[in-house]
Every structure is written in structure tokens, then in C-alpha cells.
């Protein structure tokens, strides 16, 4: 049995909490794409753990696999593992030999390219973790895989091939002086060889290396259950997302097969749960047809103070942002807020084949008199039920709304204990509309940030 968890919007849907609740009975948690661009916070026995690469299952004693579709920064990996060990948690993390390695030059080039793009306001707003440049090298067949770290001769040979290209890029294309960089060793064969051969030795010595497809197939043959944990969200998927404002991997469910080494049938025979936030948030620029109000500081005259909003829509955005704690975990930047966008969700449900849904932040919307949902888009006088392919066309879409009656604030802890029928009636109407439109049942409803504040309707 496998369960795949996929973000259906722009990331930040609260996937971590759902993995935590629904992954309870999984034996192995597998990440299939991305790297240390995915921040998640896990609260366990009153302790808070912030992780970006190690899957959250590590805290709960699961076997955790970083699949071949991941890009792995060994510095981050070992600093997270060491920090967990210092706190008395000994995580069981396995790393696919076929996963690609993020080197310091990837981070360096991520930063340089973003700076260059920002001169024309075209930056992607990446996490700066070197994700794009690493996948770029993988596709260009000049990347290094995790297994290469364990073979010092191959490691040196590959670094000696790739580094002159990176140095030329920095100096000749971007016109920078390598000597004046913060970390000139990021481009040194000897320095990288010494540090990364040591990571290879440690990976081997600690028994962390696996051929992920074989390893997972063996665990399944022994009757174990797998959970595939997607990072990021559908709208930042490199194929199905809002290109070029995307990450460089496939968070959608197809990625679970290519990124783990198991067949698509294995993923498709299991459950695929789309995680939906009850409204929409977005960090940074790009279209958002259902956007409410503005972001404090970005809208002239609007400072985020609810006693001073220019419009009702700004006041609503402010209220939802405060209630939902919609501020970037790392940067503290206020997130843009909008109503649920159904064309986006239909696109996500089709691209991944959702068999069920987990809807989060239903408590955040409590207390509103009424709420809107972007049911369709109108573009050039025509109705559209799913998203157009280009960011430019998406920017021209106008949301066509359906209005729902609001629900009161209630004791959400009681609701979580009593179950789905204890949800306010109007909240159930809202959830049932979403389930009908996406043709997938609601398996879980998030009514608060804590693990026990999730109404589990059905355990896939
Ligand atoms: P990258 O993955 O660092 O290359 O960033 C590419 C885009 O994906 C940027 O818009 C990031 O903000 C976004 N992104 C990457 N990881 C996450 C995440 O975990 N949550 C939300 N957005 C993310």
C-alpha cells in the first residue's frame, strides 16, 4: 500500500501536518523530489523541530528515504542529522545513490542568476538553495550523483570537468571576480574534493546509501506501507506549474514514480491525496486571479492596519493573514491572500489524479459572513474551468465567483474529537462543493495547527 501526498496549490498548504497524521501507519516515508528548499516544522512530544531536507517521519522513528529524484546537499543533510542526534533523536535516513548532489557552486550560481534577473524584475524568488542549477546539471549530464562521492577518483574527475565551466560562467558571463566572492572555495576542485569525499565516506560508513527502487520494492515485498511525501506544490511543478516561476522538479504524483524508482502502477494503485488550503496564498510576484486586497507595503496607502484598509477586500486579506499566520516561515514576509481558486485545483487534481483530499485551515475562515470561491475564469468573454498554459494568459483570467455562507468560530478541538459531523453545517457545504468539483472525497480536515486538530474522515 502506498499513499502519495501532493500540494495542490503554490506550496505552504500544510502538507507536513497531513503527512504527520496520515503517515502514522506508514513504515517508510519517501521524498521523491526537491531538496533543502522545503521547510517543515514538526512538533513532537512538545518539542519543535525545523527541517528542510530530512523527512518529518524521522522524528517518529520511521525509515526515511531521499529518493533518486531528490537533489541532496550533504552539508544540510549532516547538519540536520547531527542537530537531531544532539536532541536525542537518531533518525534513520537513507539516500539514493542516484540522487544528485548540490555543491556550493550551485548555490552560488542560484544567487548570481537571481540577482541578474532582478535587474529587470524577473527573479523567480528562489530559496537560494541551488536547486535549479543542480537539476540543470543533471539534465545536461554534467551533474554528480551521491554514489560519485564514494569514489574519490570519479569525484575528482567529474569536478575537474565541471568546475572550469562554472568558473567561466561566473567570470566571463556574469563578469564577477572569483577572488572577491564570499566563498571562493565553492569553485575549487581541491577544496570540494576534500570536503565531499568525506561526506561520501560518512554516507557509506553509516549505511545510508540505497538503490532506492530496489530498497523500496524489498520493503513492499515484506508487507510494509510507503508514504511518498511531495514537497512544494502543483503550481510550482516544472511541467504543470506557473513557468518560469517554478521549482525545477515534479511535485505532482508522476514524480513519485520517477523520483523513487518504483513504477507508476505502484503509485497509481495506492492513494493520492491532494492537500488544499481552504483559501489561497502566494509568496512573491505572479498572477493570482482570486487575490484579495493587497500586501502591506505593496499597496499604496495600505499599511496592513485593519482600522485603515482602503477597501473591504484589504480588510478581509488582513484578517485571513493574521488568523492563518500567513507570513513566510523563513523571511517573515506577509503572504498574498486570495479565495480558493477552483480552476487551479481542477488542474492539480487532473495532473496528479487525486483519489482524496485533505483541506486545511478551515478554522481560519471561521467568522466571515460569507466567502467566495473562484469557480471559473473568464478570459476573452469565454468561461474556462481549468488553468491556461501560460503565465501571461493566466494573468488575463478574471475569477468568476460563487458565494458561500460563512460559519461560526467554534471549539475546534471538540470538533476534531467528535469528527466530521461536528463541523459547522456551512463548512461542510463548502467542503462538499470542493469534493464534488474535484471528484475526490475529503479524507481529512485541518482545524488548527496541532496534530490532534485534524478531523480524519477516512484513513487511506
Ligand atoms: P527553488 O525551488 O528554490 O528553485 O524556488 C523556485 C520557486 O519555488 C520559488 O518561487 C520558491 O519560492 C518556490 N518554492 C520552493 N520551495 C518552496 C516551498 O517549500 N514552499 C513554497 N514555495 C517554494
Q: What does the pLDDT look like over 7-23, one tens digit per residue?
A: 999 988 988 888 888 88
Whether 380 sits among the annotated catalytic residues: the reply is: no
- How far is residue 413's CA from residue 418's CA, in Å, rounded to a whole number? 9
Query: Could you tell me if 41 and 266 are in contact, meaning their C-beta atoms sit under 8 angstroms apart?
Result: no
Distance 224 CA to ligand 1 centre (A): 32
Distance 194 CA to ligand 1 centre (A): 30
> Which residue has its alpha carbon closest to ligand 1 atom 21?
11
- How far is residue 316's CA from residue 172's CA, in Å, rounded to a whole number? 49
Comparison of pLDDT for 431 and 57, the residue scoring more: 431
The pocket around ligand 1, CB under 6 angstroms, is made up of 11-12, 37-38, 124-127, 129, 131-132, 231-232, 236, 245, 247-248, 283-284
- How far is residue 415's CA from residue 70's CA, in Å, rounded to a whole number? 38
- How far is residue 192's CA from residue 105's CA, in Å, rounded to a whole number? 10
Give the count of beta carbons closer than 10 Å to the beta carbon of residue 87.
9
Whether 12 sits among the annotated catalytic residues: the reply is: yes
Q: Does 457 have pLDDT greater than 60?
A: yes
pLDDT band at 121 (very low <50, low <70, confident <90, very high): confident
List strand residue ranges (DSSP E) for 367-406, in order. 370-379, 382-384, 398-405
What is residue 302's predicted lDDT score, i.e. its pLDDT? Answer: 52
Q: What does the pLDDT look like over 361-399, one tens digit per residue?
A: 999 999 999 999 999 999 999 999 999 999 999 999 999
What is residue 59's predicted lDDT score, i.e. its pLDDT? Answer: 86
Q: What does the pLDDT look like over 304-334, one tens digit per residue?
A: 555 555 678 888 898 999 999 998 765 677 8
| Residue among 13, 247, 251 whose CB has most ligand 1 atoms within 8 A, to mutate | 247
Closest CA to 246 of 5, 8, 11: 11
Q: Concatenated DSSP letters for 143-156?
A: --BGGGGG-HHHHH
Residue for cell digits 523571511?
331
Q: Among 24, 27, 36, 40, which one carries the catalytic annotation?
A: 40
Distance 333 CA to ligand 1 centre (A): 14
What is residue 303's predicted lDDT score, i.e. its pLDDT? Answer: 58
Alpha helices by DSSP H, 277-361: 312-324, 342-352
pLDDT band at 410 (very low <50, low <70, confident <90, very high): very high
249 CA closest ligand 1 atom index: 2
| Residue among 50, 126, 238 whose CB has most ligand 1 atoms within 8 A, to mutate | 126
What is residue 330's predicted lDDT score, i.e. its pLDDT? Answer: 59
What is residue 307's predicted lDDT score, i.e. its pLDDT? Answer: 57
Residue 291 host element (H or E): strand 291-292
Closest CA to 222 of 408, 27, 437, 73: 27
Q: Concatenated DSSP letters for 208-232?
A: -EE-HHHHHHHHHHTT--EEEE--S
- In terms of phi and psi (left: phi > 0; alpha: psi -120 to 50; beta: otherwise), the region of 56 is alpha
What is residue 298's predicted lDDT score, i.e. its pLDDT? Answer: 58
Amino acid at each position: 500500500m502506498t499513499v502519495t501526498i501532493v500540494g495542490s496549490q503554490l506550496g505552504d498548504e500544510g502538507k507536513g501536518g497531513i503527512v504527520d497524521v496520515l503517515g502514522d501507519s506508514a513504515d517508510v516515508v519517501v521524498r521523491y523530489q526537491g531538496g533543502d528548499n522545503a521547510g517543515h516544522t514538526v512538533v513532537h512530544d512538545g518539542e519543535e523541530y525545523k527541517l528542510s531536507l530530512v523527512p518529518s517521519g524521522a522524528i517518529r522513528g520511521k525509515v526515511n528515504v531521499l529518493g533518486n529524484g531528490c537533489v541532496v546537499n550533504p552539508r544540510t543533510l549532516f547538519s540536520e542529522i547531527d542537530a537531531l542526534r544532539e536532541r536525542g533523536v537518531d533518525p534513520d535516513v537513507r539516500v539514493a545513490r542516484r540522487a544528485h548532489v548540490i555543491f556550493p557552486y550551485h548555490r552560488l550560481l542560484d544567487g548570481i542568476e537571481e540577482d541578474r534577473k532582478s535587474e529587470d524584475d524577473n527573479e523567480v524568488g528562489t530559496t537560494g538553495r541551488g536547486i535549479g542549477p543542480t537539476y540543470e546539471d543533471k539534465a545536461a549530464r554534467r551533474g554528480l550523483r551521491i554514489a560519485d562521492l564514494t569514489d574519490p577518483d570519479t569525484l575528482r574527475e567529474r569536478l575537474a570537468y565541471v568546475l572550469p565551466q562554472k568558473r567561466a560562467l561566473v567570470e566571463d558571463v556574469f563578469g564577477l571576480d572569483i577572488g572577491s566572492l564570499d566563498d571562493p572555495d565553492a569553485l575549487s576542485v581541491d577544496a570540494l574534493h576534500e570536503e565531499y569525499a568525506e561526506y561520501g565516506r560518512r554516507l557509506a560508513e553509516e549505511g545510508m546509501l540505497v538503490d532506492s527502487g530496489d530498497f523500496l520494492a524489498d520493503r513492499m515485498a515484506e508487507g510494509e506501507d510507503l508514504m511518498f511525501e511531495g514537497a512544494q506544490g502543483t503550481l510550482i511543478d516544472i511541467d504543470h506549474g506557473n513557468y518560469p516561476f517554478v521549482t525545477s522538479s515534479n511535485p505532482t504524483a508522476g514524480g513519485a514514480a520517477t523520483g523513487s524508482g518504483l513504477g507508476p502502477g505502484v503509485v497509481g494503485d495506492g492513494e493520492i491525496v491532494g492537500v488544499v488550503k481552504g483559501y489561497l496564498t502566494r509568496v512573491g510576484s505572479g498572477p493570482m486571479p482570486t487575490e484579495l486586497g493587497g500586501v502591506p507595503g505593496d499597496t499604496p496607502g495600505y499599511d496592513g492596519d485593519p482600522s485603515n484598509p482602503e477597501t473591504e477586500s484589504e480588510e478581509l486579506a488582513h484578517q485571513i493573514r493574521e488568523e492563518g499566520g500567513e507570513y513566510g516561515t523563513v523571511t517573515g514576509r506577509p503572504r498574498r491572500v486570495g479565495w480558493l481558486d477552483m480552476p487551479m485545483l481542477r488542474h492539480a487534481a487532473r495532473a496528479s489524479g487525486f483519489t482524496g483530499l485533505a483541506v486545511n485551515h478551515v478554522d481560519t475562515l471561521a467568522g466571515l459572513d460569507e466567502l467566495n470561491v473562484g469557480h471559473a475564469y473568464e478570459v476573452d468573454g469565454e468561461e474556462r474551468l481549468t488553468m491556461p498554459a501560460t503565465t501571461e494568459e493566466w494573468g488575463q483570467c478574471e475569477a468568476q465567483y460563487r458565494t458561500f455562507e460563512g460559519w461560526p468560530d467554534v471549539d475546534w478541538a471538540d470538533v476534531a474529537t467528535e469528527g466530521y459531523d461536528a463541523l459547522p453545517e456551512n463548512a461542510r457545504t463548502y467542503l462538499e462543493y470542493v469534493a464534488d468539483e474535484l471528484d475526490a472525497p475529503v479524507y481529512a480536515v485541518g482545524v488548527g495547527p496541532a496534530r490532534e486538530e485534524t478531523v480524519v474522515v477516512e484513513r487511506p
